[in-house]
Amino acid sequence: MTDNMTDIPKSHPRYLSLKMRESLVKGVEDGITSMAGLIAHGRGEMFDYLIGEETISTAERAEKKAVEEIIEAKNPVISVNGNVAALVPKEIVELGKTLDTKLEVNLFHRIPERVSKIKGALENNGAEEVFGLEPEEKIPGLDHKRALCSHEGIYTSDVVLVPLEDGDRAEALKKMGKKVITIDLNPLSRTSRVADITIVDNIVRAVPNMMEFEPLYDDFDNDENLKKTLLFMSERLKNLSEEI
Ligand code: ATP
Ligand code: MG
């Protein structure tokens, strides 16, 4: 995240949240993040409130399972969009190096200039190779621009981490037979429901966690984990309502 928030004191109770917003606004100004990305972030913030803005146990379990699947994969790829590049540019590059994955820029609203700016942002943070600038392949079942992906990256991947992904594309990747891992604060989104592993956590916490956590090496049922996440949210709301 950027450190240009001179006017927001660190003591502000919502400092971290405001810092994230500032990074995204800067992302838009720099041509990295789309306007729609700001709206997506707002939806994420709402769900983050419901889990208390911390990594809950179901998220921790999903993060550990994700680490396991990625390190066991033959061709794991991390997909990077404008929100990811604005919020965790350094951390996502580090995660790719830690877990030995490829990085590919993949946008919902594909604009070549934005793709190359995101690639630049990743390279400025130490990325050696970034895929997605000249995509040769198409994900079947999607309209032209959203389908584009690189041959060496997403197209031939076996495990793909698609944080903050659109539901349609997550589903199309599943249909290609890939193991789909997502980071998505909304446990009800289509992406969350269709993924093999859904990490219901803020990406600013999930990515550093995945660099620290040991792999799970245990059975994992994504539906069961999502159910527990929803129950956690509803019980937390019930407890909070009793405190008011
Ligand atoms: P879907 O298409 O899967 O039904 P959607 O249309 O609601 O979902 P998209 O805009 O396609 O959502 O994807 C963005 C998703 O990312 C949203 O579910 C949002 O809650 C989530 N999100 C936004 N910001 C963050 C963040 N910082 N960390 C984790 N998840 C986030
Ligand atoms: Mg969507």
For residue 45, being part of any structural domain is answered with no
* CATH number where 123 lies: 3.40.50.12640
For residue 206, being part of any structural domain is answered with yes
For residue 190, being part of any structural domain is answered with yes
Asked if the model's pLDDT at residue 8 lies above 90, the reply is: no
**Under DSSP, is residue 110 helix (H, G, I), strand (E, B) or coil?**
coil
Q: Which domain does 226 fall in, by range?
A: 57-233
pLDDT tens, position by position, 92-125: 999 999 999 999 999 988 999 999 999 999 999 9
CB-ligand 1 contact for 203 (6 Å cutoff): yes
- Kindly report the number of other CB atoms within 10 A of residue 28's CB atom: 15
Instruction: State mean pLDDT over 224-241.
Output: 98
Percentage of residues in the chain having pLDDT higher than 70: 98
For residue 243, being part of any structural domain is answered with no
For residue 240, being part of any structural domain is answered with no
pLDDT band at 145 (very low <50, low <70, confident <90, very high): confident
Predicted local distance difference test score (pLDDT) of residue 12: 84
Give the number of domains in the chain: 1
Closest atom of ligand 1 to 43 CA is 20
Residue type, 26: K
Pairing type for strands 148-149 and 137-138 reads antiparallel
Looking up tokens 């001179």, which residue turns up? 6
For residue 39, being part of any structural domain is answered with no
Asked if the model's pLDDT at residue 4 lies above 70, the reply is: no
Contact yes or no for 164/190 (Cβ under 8 A) = no
Predicted local distance difference test score (pLDDT) of residue 109: 83
**Under DSSP, is residue 148 helix (H, G, I), strand (E, B) or coil?**
strand
Cα–Cα nearest to 1, from 177, 191, 200, 208? 208
Predicted local distance difference test score (pLDDT) of residue 2: 45
For residue 35, being part of any structural domain is answered with no
Instruction: State mean pLDDT over 212-230.
Output: 98
Residue 75 CA to ligand 2 centre (angstroms): 26
CB-ligand 1 contact for 167 (6 Å cutoff): yes
Contact yes or no for 160/173 (Cβ under 8 A) = yes
For residue 31, being part of any structural domain is answered with no
Integer Cα distance of 159 and 213 in angstroms: 18
Q: What is the pTM of this model?
A: 0.96
